[in-house]
Structure 1
Amino acid sequence: MTISVAQAQEKFQPVPDKKQKMSQKGEEPLDRQNNGSEKDKTAKRKEYDINLYKIITHDRDTMVIDTSLTIEKDYKYNYLRKDDFELMPFSNLGQTYNSLGYTFDRPSAFPSIGMRAKHFNYDEVEDVTYFNVPTPTTELFFKTAMEQGQLLDAFITMNTSKRMNFSIAYKGMRSLGKYQNILSSTGNFRLTANYRTKNDRYAMRAHFYSQDVLNNENGGITDEAVLDFQNGVEEFLDRSRLSVAFQDAENILVGKRYYLEHDYKIVRRKDSLRDNNLRVGHTFNYETKYYIYNQDRENAQFGTSYVPTFIRDRSQLRKLYNQASLSYMTKTFGDVKFKANHTKYEYFFDKILYIGSNVVPNKIEGDVVAVGGEWRHTIAGIDLRADLLANVSGELGGNYFKGRANYDLNDDINLGASIVINSKAPNFNFLVNQSDYIDYNWRSDFENERTQSLNFSLKSKKWLNADVSFTSLDNYTYFSGLTADAQVSPQQNEDAITYLKVKVGKEFRYGKFALNNTVMYQKVTQSGDVFNVPELVTRNTLYYTDKWFKKALFIQTGVTFSYFTEYFGNAYSPLLGEFYSQNQQKIGGFPRFDVFINAKVRRTRIYFKLEHLNSSFTGYNFFSAPNQPYRDFLVRFGVVWNFFS
């Protein structure tokens, strides 16, 4: 669902009276669709304010459904449905992405399963949104894939009453790809519900999410094929002819989540001087994930294996989470919440491995109890938020603090600042791994990773958008391929790493033409090539907009230039589902030009793009990761259709 910027920070509100008329400038009324004669349609037609069609985030910020066509919508018209400026996609849709930049604004005191290369299209609890709409609302998203496939994202939400909303969505993708054995197939199924009683004493929201990411893996093209690719040998312009490391492997990540969050107001006092209420809350989250790597026979890329054929590695994480909270809100002190949670976890493998007389542990399990608090208040127009949590029992120590302040200087300028301090155990696949490949078995004893991040932002349509972050990383844990011909292994960096990121965006307009620019500068101070990012990343779009055919058609067309400087980009391990640090091959330093023609008719947006138009005449040296070529020139199109019943 495409959304606009946050407009408020409010909880689920009842749907206003249906007789309310549309008032927002620039948006046409939403007409109820009816069958029957034109006379019946005229008699039954209702109009609704676009502001009534609400999206509520996990943090309870409220946004409205946005059916406009902007350059930001073009940037988000992709597989992930978000701006991928800091990501470098692989050749096939549904494969992984190399990271051109990093953010550390979502702290956690508990580690994840790992397999981070498989999680770009995996929605976490914080990514799920809820809805409140006066009429049934639908969005259909379609886009062509690379070859023999398509991407479809279908969504519908409705209110069964003023205080009860349901939504159902499914995003499915399948793409064969241009190279051998890189078929991708993914699915994301989501159900959500939210409810509030008439007296506002009880509120609930819940969701069920099932997600899977399946990829055939080929290990990248061979070193000999890299030379044929770079030299533009005509025979190999048909990319299916290029030799790959193997053609018999696949990996898959599957996750299911059951989530419920509800609270009840025990005490509520409201008069002209005060508005106090006391709430007790409970959150339940049960989630399972498993990761499988299958291969018909061993391959030298990963060394030797215990079994030469039918290699199968499987790891799984089960997590049961319960949180109890007590919140007290006053006009004087704001909203204060005290919380305590319990997490029961089990990370395990489907076999027991013996090396001589030693047994490689096949599971990590335990319980973690954590306590903390949250605070929200607005003082002198400054929106303040703080969140603190610390594990107080269990083998997995961890804690975090996140503080944030936002201030609207005027109608155009918003200033923001935040600080994040986080300590947690490394992801589970750093701690223990079992594999049929001999060198991919370990039981590590790492210290907690520690992160401190300071962030500043300025948002202004008139001037510019700017984000500056300074991050310090201690005990940074990573997968290393820094030693040539050695197998990938988990490592922990003993020295501190400092990371500076400055990101600036500005659009210049002249009549019907506009130049939209985003530039990111990064600087890393470290010993070795552990944490690698390009120094400069830029995206510049020159485009034209107009209304044609008596303003019935809104047109948007232009060209986008993208570029990042050379650096030792992380390499991809399909066995682990992870990226690893390397210092043998640089990627980057090549331009990308995309030409697009987008149009909008009522609430239907049409997208047509010539991707990487320059691929055949600026040199065949474009790679997403070592031995992983980026995409050749490709024509793609699709539509996004919003309609309101």
Structure 2
Amino acid sequence: MRPACKSPRWRQVWPICPYFTSRLPSGSWPMGRPGWPPCLVPTFRFPPLADFPLLFFRTSSLRLSLLLLAGLLGLGLLRPRAGHAQILDDSTRNRYGARTTFILKERDLLQGDTVGRMVDSTLTRLPQQRYWTHDTTFQQTLGYFGAASRPLLWEANRQLGARLGRTVFDQYARGPEDVNYYDTKSPYTFFRFFQGNPYEQVFELGYARSLKKRFNVGFNYERFGANKAIAVSNTKTGQVEHNNFVFFARYQSLNNRYHAMGHFATARHTLAEQGGIRPLASDTLADGRIDLSLLFDYQREVVNLTNAKNRDSRDRVRLLHSYQLLGRGLTAYHLFNFSRQLNRYTDEQPAPSGVRNPFYPINRLSSAATDDRAEFRQFENTVGVMGQSQLVNYRLYGRYRTYSLETRSAYGAPPVVREALPTVDGPSQLFAGGTAAFQYRQFAIETAGEVKPSTEQLEYWLSGRARLGFLSGEVLLTSAAPTLTEQQFSGNHFAWNTDFKNVNVQQLRVRAARQLGRHFVEAVGTVANVSNYIYYSVDPISQTDQIHMDGPRQASGNADKFQISSLMGHYRGSVGHLFFETQATVTLGAGSDNPALRIPAVVGEARVYYQGYLFKKALFGQVGVQGYYQSRWKAYDYSPSTQQFFVQDHFTIRSVPVADVFLNADIKTVGVFLKMSYINQFLPQNGYFAAPYYAALPRRLQFGLRWQFFN
């Protein structure tokens, strides 16, 4: 009998076990090699996040090779001394590998899972750039790797209380839910290097080892970046640089009653803002309209900003530990979290030659320099209890939060940085929440929620889910206060002070998923009623060629309440060695007639590839083509000095089909890929826009290497 996959009971149904890495005789789908079996019991596995991208090396290839070699040699010094080293014979090599290395995350421990899941050694997502970062959802970007981004599709907010509201660089920073903790039987090293010539670079190095069986420690370092493709004479000129370091540790007691996992994380993200392409007189038609097809000369174009930079700095200390009081039926836990986020925007020439740059609507505080800073600090302590049995699972908790926000800007000439707004030392905030679930055979029901009591406006999110076989449904109710940035802002170019109501959402989601032999079919329908939605709007009096943001607005009047609906279809299957996968989402109610929310009517991707063994099964390979498509829409514009995307009506992005061809290979623990991105460039035009006047990268060759060491 084939083994079933082990995972916590209280997770959404998934028809297969996509990360099962053991080779067994039976056939399988999907991302693994032939011979990896499906699970007997359908279980959900959280998809691997991009797992750690990203690098920015501007050094020569020789220096890079020497640095990587030095790093690997340094790791060797961390191994046990020769007298205590493990003997690596044939049995050892067969014993240690992906099947003996498990990943755990915070959500696993909070769901009573102390086993985790095997490391991902599959190939399918390796060349997909959407999985190179820590947020794998579809995103609207500014066209280059490492740029500001926002979610492309609708998703209701479940964050309550004080939030900074500067989220455009979130997908590059490793959140607490993205940190991996390990259970390793041998030292484990993870190495990744990607290069998109000449624009994108990715480097990641991770190491974990067990100490005395109960204690596991490790670190992860990632560095990534991008070079300029627009308005530059040398494509080796850097535009984005990101550094992220995480030190993590996990402990479990001898009797397995006490568990602890904690980490320290720091991230630094710096990029040169260009403000988009500035059309010239030669790009203008006789009727005054701009010929957008003339704006794809890339290096020869002119941009709005040449001395502006955005910096996003984040630090976090986090500890989660639990103790079983009465077996698995009653466990107490405590979660401590400290986080800091600093956003800084600078421009050394907001008024070159004494004349204000028309990209900015005004220079409020200084014409000599722009230096706007916002620093948000937050302390949280969460205490709760949880438990589970064969039929019931529950968790109850209370959270205590304190926070502060400092806003500073440069004033006068010469510029002097001082306080722009009074420091916000917010009142302490209390939250209460929990989950409760019941499952019997094919029927399951789960409720969850969180409440922030308040004398002014009650904040909450409440959800209820039910599942019967392949059908499931969820009802979600949310009411969340505006972010701190939406409430108040002061900088050199913008300022506002608002008094907004809570944003309310009532949402219904229905899902049907079925595994039919080697084919999997899924459909998800969503209907959401939204009221008091907060968005950033365009200044109605700004010029056509220099559109300015006006500030945050709350939907009112006829737009106070609106409804959006979406249908997502997903299929994957195989015929022999030929594999197919496609996913598409159709959204209604968020088109150009909605003044507050914009989503393309159709967003989809598809992939077809052939996979099999070569050289007597010494090499496993995949070769195929993948494509992405989004329909015409009025994409969000971007304000770099506030780090906010805003709704606009002056620029329509045409339908965008983008095709790539790729070749993947796996040799034992080494995975490599070679991909030609945007192979359909010049069909029909020689480029496309990701945002108004932000051209996406041209055709380029990408290659990458992933190497995992298990001893």
When normalised by structure 1's length, the TM-score is: 0.85
Q: Which moved more, 1:256-265 or 1:114-123?
A: 114-123
| Alpha-carbon distance, 1:629 to partner | 0.6
| Alpha-carbon distance, 1:405 to partner | 4.2
Residue 187 of structure 1 pairs with residue 236 of structure 2: no
Distance 1:49 1:249 in 2: 47
2:404 counterpart residue number: 346
After TM superposition, list the pairs within 5 Å mapping 1:317-328 onto structure 2: 317-328=376-387
Distance 1:534 1:614 in 2: 21
Aligned length: 604
Kindly indicate whether the alpha-carbon contact (under 8 Å) linking 1:367 and 1:394 is maintained by their aligned counterparts in 2: no
1:488 is paired with a residue whose SS is strand
Out of 248, 272, 281, the residue aligned to residue 333 of structure 2 is 281
1:640 is paired with a residue whose SS is strand
1:213 counterpart residue number: 269
Out of 221, 228, 236, the residue aligned to residue 177 of structure 1 is 228
> CA 1:213/1:243 → structure 2, altered by over 3 Å: closer, same or farther?
same
| Alpha-carbon distance, 1:224 to partner | 2.8
Out of 515, 518, 535, the residue aligned to residue 478 of structure 1 is 535
Distance 1:192 1:419 in 2: 36
1:295 counterpart residue number: 347
Kindly indicate whether the alpha-carbon contact (under 8 Å) linking 2:196 and 2:700 is maintained by their aligned counterparts in 1: no
What whole-Å deviation, never above 9, does each CA across 1:67-114 have from its counterpart, x for those lacking one? 1223x4443675316645x2244332211235431222x612224211
Out of 316, 339, 343, the residue aligned to residue 375 of structure 2 is 316
> CA 1:225/1:383 → structure 2, altered by over 3 Å: closer, same or farther?
farther
After TM superposition, list the pairs within 5 Å mapping 1:604-615 onto structure 2: 604-615=670-681
2:359 is paired with a residue whose SS is helix
> CA 1:547/1:312 → structure 2, altered by over 3 Å: closer, same or farther?
same
Out of 366, 375, 379, the residue aligned to residue 436 of structure 2 is 375
What whole-Å deviation, never above 9, does each CA across 1:542-576 have from its counterpart, x for those lacking one? 32222222221222112222221101111111111
> CA 1:444/1:170 → structure 2, altered by over 3 Å: closer, same or farther?
same
2:65 counterpart residue number: none
Distance 1:162 1:522 in 2: 50
1:16 counterpart residue number: none
| Alpha-carbon distance, 1:220 to partner | 0.3
Out of 581, 584, 589, the residue aligned to residue 516 of structure 1 is 581
Distance 2:231 2:197 in 1: 13
1:79 counterpart residue number: 132
Distance 1:238 1:344 in 2: 50
1:387 counterpart residue number: 448
2:633 is paired with a residue whose SS is coil
Distance 1:428 1:502 in 2: 33
Kindly indicate whether the alpha-carbon contact (under 8 Å) linking 2:590 and 2:598 is maintained by their aligned counterparts in 1: no
Kindly indicate whether the alpha-carbon contact (under 8 Å) linking 2:381 and 2:401 is maintained by their aligned counterparts in 1: yes
> CA 1:427/1:591 → structure 2, altered by over 3 Å: closer, same or farther?
same
Paired AA for residue 656 in structure 2: F
What whole-Å deviation, never above 9, does each CA across 1:236-279 have from its counterpart, x for those lacking one? 865222010110100111111111111223344xxxxxxx6433
Paired AA for residue 375 in structure 2: Q
What whole-Å deviation, never above 9, does each CA across 1:20-56 have from its counterpart, x for those lacking one? x97755469xxxx9999xx973475551574442222
2:154 is paired with a residue whose SS is coil
1:202 counterpart residue number: 258
Distance 1:433 1:556 in 2: 50
| Alpha-carbon distance, 1:537 to partner | 1.6
Residue 491 of structure 1 pairs with residue 544 of structure 2: no
Q: Which moved more, 1:334-343 or 1:318-327?
A: 334-343
Kindly indicate whether the alpha-carbon contact (under 8 Å) linking 2:538 and 2:646 is maintained by their aligned counterparts in 1: yes
What whole-Å deviation, never above 9, does each CA across 1:454-493 have from its counterpart, x for those lacking one? 2233334424122222222211111111625154311011
Paired AA for residue 671 in structure 2: R
After TM superposition, list the pairs within 5 Å mapping 1:436-475 onto structure 2: 436-437=492-493, 440-461=494-515, 462-475=519-532
1:63 counterpart residue number: 117
Kindly indicate whether the alpha-carbon contact (under 8 Å) linking 1:341 and 1:369 is maintained by their aligned counterparts in 2: yes
What whole-Å deviation, never above 9, does each CA across 1:145-199 have from its counterpart, x for those lacking one? 4536621122222222333222311121122221147700112211222222112
Paired AA for residue 310 in structure 2: N
Kindly indicate whether the alpha-carbon contact (under 8 Å) linking 2:636 and 2:646 is maintained by their aligned counterparts in 1: yes
2:709 is paired with a residue whose SS is strand
Distance 2:281 2:665 in 1: 40
After TM superposition, list the pairs within 5 Å mapping 1:99-118 onto structure 2: 99-104=151-156, 107-118=158-169
Distance 1:256 1:211 in 2: 6
Higher strand share: 1
Kindly indicate whether the alpha-carbon contact (under 8 Å) linking 2:590 and 2:597 is maintained by their aligned counterparts in 1: no
- What residue ranges of structure 1 are gaps of 5+ in the alignment? 12-20, 269-275
Residue 253 of structure 1 pairs with residue 312 of structure 2: yes
> CA 1:7/1:513 → structure 2, altered by over 3 Å: closer, same or farther?
same
Kindly indicate whether the alpha-carbon contact (under 8 Å) linking 1:590 and 1:621 is maintained by their aligned counterparts in 2: no
When normalised by structure 2's length, the TM-score is: 0.78
Kindly indicate whether the alpha-carbon contact (under 8 Å) linking 2:296 and 2:687 is maintained by their aligned counterparts in 1: no
What whole-Å deviation, never above 9, does each CA across 1:331-381 have from its counterpart, x for those lacking one? 56x333332211101122126999xxxx97433322111223322343334
Q: Which moved more, 1:419-428 or 1:580-589?
A: 419-428
Out of 574, 577, 586, the residue aligned to residue 652 of structure 2 is 586
Distance 2:94 2:563 in 1: 57
Distance 1:353 1:601 in 2: 59
Q: Percent identity?
A: 20
1:534 is paired with a residue whose SS is coil
1:546 counterpart residue number: 612
1:373 is paired with a residue whose SS is strand
Paired AA for residue 456 in structure 1: V
Residue 93 of structure 1 pairs with residue 93 of structure 2: no
- What residue ranges of structure 2 are gaps of 5+ in the alignment? 11-20, 26-34, 38-78, 233-237, 285-289, 351-356, 413-418, 543-547
| Alpha-carbon distance, 1:125 to partner | 2.4
Kindly indicate whether the alpha-carbon contact (under 8 Å) linking 2:343 and 2:375 is maintained by their aligned counterparts in 1: yes
What whole-Å deviation, never above 9, does each CA across 1:367-422 have from its counterpart, x for those lacking one? 11122332234333444433222112587742112333456x4xxxx544333222
What whole-Å deviation, never above 9, does each CA across 1:285-322 have from its counterpart, x for those lacking one? 11110100000122322222121112100011111111
1:15 counterpart residue number: none
Distance 1:297 1:520 in 2: 43
1:503 counterpart residue number: 568
> CA 1:252/1:351 → structure 2, altered by over 3 Å: closer, same or farther?
closer
Distance 2:190 2:221 in 1: 11
Kindly indicate whether the alpha-carbon contact (under 8 Å) linking 2:134 and 2:172 is maintained by their aligned counterparts in 1: no
> CA 1:510/1:324 → structure 2, altered by over 3 Å: closer, same or farther?
closer
1:309 is paired with a residue whose SS is coil
Out of 404, 417, 422, the residue aligned to residue 362 of structure 1 is 422
Distance 2:648 2:164 in 1: 23
Distance 1:226 1:9 in 2: 63
Paired AA for residue 192 in structure 2: F
> RMSD of the TM alignment (CA)?
3.3
Distance 2:299 2:505 in 1: 43
Distance 2:536 2:432 in 1: 32
Kindly indicate whether the alpha-carbon contact (under 8 Å) linking 1:170 and 1:188 is maintained by their aligned counterparts in 2: yes
Distance 1:508 1:174 in 2: 35
1:134 counterpart residue number: 185
Out of 612, 618, 622, the residue aligned to residue 684 of structure 2 is 618
Kindly indicate whether the alpha-carbon contact (under 8 Å) linking 2:141 and 2:691 is maintained by their aligned counterparts in 1: no
1:223 is paired with a residue whose SS is coil
Distance 1:42 1:10 in 2: 37
Residue 419 of structure 1 pairs with residue 485 of structure 2: no
Residue 223 of structure 1 pairs with residue 283 of structure 2: no
> CA 1:124/1:474 → structure 2, altered by over 3 Å: closer, same or farther?
farther
